[in-house]
Amino acid sequence: MNVLVRLSLFSKVLGCSVGCALALAACGGGGSAPSGTVMPEPGAGSSLAVPDLGAVVAQGAASPLPGGWMRGAFMQIYVRGYKDSDGDGKGDLKGLISQLDYLQDLGVQGLWLMPVTQSEDRDHGYAVKNYRNIETDYGSLSDMAQLLTQAHQRGMGVILDYVINHSSSQHPLFLNAASARLNPQRHYFVWQDTAPAGWSVWGQNPWYSSGNGYYYAPFWSGMPDFNWKNDQVKSFHHDNLRYWLNQGVDGFRFDAVGHLVENGPTAWESQPENHTIMGQVQDLLKSYDRRYMVCESPAAPQAFAAASSCGGAFAFDLKDPILRAARGDTTAIAAVSQYFRTAPAGMATFLANHDSFAGNRVWNQLSGNVAQYKMAAATYLLLPGTPFIYYGEEIGMANGAGLTGDWALRTPMSWTAQAAGFTSGVPFRALSANIASNHVQAQRGVDGSLHSFYKTMIGLRKRLPSLAQGDYSGAWAQGQAMGFQRSLGSERTMVLYNYGLNPQPVSLSGLAASSSWTAEYPVSTDVQVGSNGTLALTLPPQSVTVYRQRP
């Protein structure tokens, strides 16, 4: 049987059509062997060229970004859904470049791009087929280079979503590995000759038959897990990371780091080896200038934020308390006030993202209550850590009209009241349900709008370095109010919240005796602390107040 026929049959066995991607989400030959091609022994199966396999030598250059850039606000961008430049109805890199001035004006200092490399699904992008090239719908490597240049000129860093746990089942490495049990690339993935018993990941059996054994794929049959107990896998990924770092990429968001190593049917998440793996990745990034990494691990976010692991991770254990606090829940308010007393400073704060398991868009979760929305935003944007805004969050985009699951969260950006703000063609997916009222054109520059509020909060963070990089102290909660202090060098700020519907008197103690504090937000009266270090205030309903201690 020739290679083309064998691979066609193999694809049917795996069920790897694009349609399967809705559950979650090539070949070549002939002539001389190109780089990455495996030359197997007889009976060892396929030897497809692997375009993203091969050594890459570090070519580090000085970062054009200022120190501490990674403590500014990030925008998480789904490129397919952000801005279309060519009328095909799909967002692309050139479209994103055209909106960099908008992002700079908002105050954003970092961009996280959801996967932009070539993938089997050609949508969410987490079923990667080639780690070293751009999805054709999004543009080219030259477009990526232009994006990096233009972002850097505006003082913004760009980090890529890197899928470190699994690939597509159509990646040439996996096609080779699955073609025969003796294939030299077999052990890049996790295999058993017979079906393992006793496994259940999220209620499903994660083992699938290829006809040549069983492979492990907990997310979906079309996304097999790499075998991180094989040093070749480490080399493969480190080379691909160096490839992008050499291009000038400013770092990475690492997907699903809790699932890198499996040690048995009940030991498949957050294994100790995962932290060693990510610590080595962090060492690689530190060999370059001013790079940043952040990891996704919903089950153990603080463990992966440790300095010995990723050094930064998304605060999945904080987002829901913030949203409950915004509704006035006193237990949640107290929990939020205490979180950063013990949590690593490298936590990445957020309210929602591209995954439905993390919740709907903020607008839907708060039922369109703008006052609560602003309180939630003010909370995570002024706390320690690095805040990540999900595209459209700054204007209150709702879930996609008539959509469910992840697709409801990954809709075209609402630039204007109609689809024409996103594309001159037909949008690839339904628009946000509230696009008629909640769009950039209606909110930008308008006093009281969500967009203006986000711009103000981000501006505070940029103007007062203690809010972006300072320590966290003096946290307290009283009923529906809470507050804390941030300090960096000689600058000390005090942030106060009242999540309630009524004014709330608060009595603060432990402040510097007779110190004076300037009102930074909103414009209001400065305050003077008593000689005994106490201060009595009445906080307006659903308000945030920021003071800076005078030298």
**Catalytically annotated residues:** 255, 296
Reduced to 3 states (helix: H, G, I; strand: E, B; else coil), residue 131 is strand
Which amino acid would we find at residue 84?
Answer: D
Predicted confidence pLDDT, tens digits, the chain (551 residues): 333 223 333 333 343 333 333 333 323 233 333 345 444 556 788 899 999 999 999 997 899 999 999 999 999 999 999 999 999 999 999 999 999 999 999 999 999 999 999 999 989 999 999 999 999 999 999 999 999 999 999 999 999 999 999 999 999 999 999 999 999 999 999 999 999 999 999 999 999 999 999 999 999 999 999 999 999 999 999 999 999 999 999 999 999 999 999 999 999 999 999 999 999 999 999 999 999 999 999 999 999 999 999 999 999 999 999 999 999 999 999 999 999 999 999 999 999 999 999 999 999 999 999 999 999 999 999 999 999 999 999 999 999 999 999 999 999 999 999 999 999 999 999 999 999 999 999 999 999 999 999 999 999 999 999 999 999 999 999 999 999 999 999 999 999 999 999 999 999 999 999 999 999 999 888 999 999 999 999 999 999 999 999 99
Residue 176: the pLDDT is 97
Q: What counts of helices (H) and strands (E) characterise the chain?
A: 15, 21
Q: What is the pLDDT of residue 45?
A: 84
Tokens of 453: 């509020």
Closest CA to 322 of 392, 412, 393, 252: 393
Q: What is the rounded distance in angstroms from the CA atom of residue 144 to the CA atom of residue 124?
A: 18
Residue 229 exposed, middle or buried by CB count within 10 Å (0-12, 13-18, 19+): middle
Kindly provide the b/e burial profile for residues 444-481, where b requires at least 16 CB atoms within 10 angstroms of the residue's own CB: beeeebbbebbbbbbebbeebbbbbbbebeebbbbbbb
Which pLDDT score, from 0 to 100, does residue 10 have?
Answer: 35
| Prediction pTM value | 0.92
pLDDT at 118: 98
Please say whether the beta carbons of 429 and 410 come within 8 A. Answer: yes
C-beta separation of 383 from 333 below 8 A? no
AA identity, residue 530: G
Could you tell me how many residues make up the chain? 551
In this prediction, residue 41 carries a pLDDT of 59
Query: How far apart (Å, rounded) are the C-alpha atoms in residues 347 and 309?
Result: 12
Which residues share a beta bridge with 111? Answer: 75, 158
Per-residue model confidence (pLDDT) at position 53: 98
User: Could you tell me if 481 and 539 are in contact, meaning their C-beta atoms sit under 8 angstroms apart?
Assistant: yes
Q: Give DSSP secondary structure letters for 484-524.
A: EEEEETTEEEEEEEE-SSS-EEEEE-SPPTT-EEEEEESS-
CA distance 486 to 488: 7
Q: Looking at 273-414, which runs of residues are DSSP E strands?
A: 292-295, 313-314, 347-349, 386-390
Q: Which residues pair with 161 in a beta bridge?
A: 253
Longest dimension (CA), the chain: 89
Residue 14 belongs to what H/E stretch? helix 3-14
- Taking CA atoms, 525 is separated from 153, 327, 431, 497, in Å, by 38, 27, 44, 16
